[in-house]
Amino acid sequence: MAIKKKSKPTLKEVMGTVGMLMMRINKLEADIANNARVVDEYIQFKDDKDDYIKFLKEKLEIDDKDNKETEKE
């Protein structure tokens, strides 16, 4: 049995795939921006920014290595 070689995609197929990827990336960027906006609006609505920041500091480990370098300068 002969092994069939896979043909390389044509330029048109590659361009179509790249176009679809670009559309999906743009949609993800828009979704992320909208979600961030919703969270910001909710925080302003509840007027508890300080409590939210305190909650995040407790739940997440924030990597502030750059902050320490900035304070030294």
pTM of the model: 0.59
Amino acid letter, residue 44: Q
With beta carbons less than 8 A apart as the criterion, state whether 57 and 51 touch. Answer: no
3-class secondary structure per residue, the chain: CCCCCCCCCCHHHHHHHHHHHHHHHHHHHHHHHHHHHHHHHHHHHHCCHHHHHHHHHHHCCCCCHHHHHHHHC
Residue 68 pLDDT greater than 60, yes or no: no
- 17-67 pLDDT, tens per residue? 999 999 999 999 999 999 999 988 988 888 888 888 888 888 877 666 666
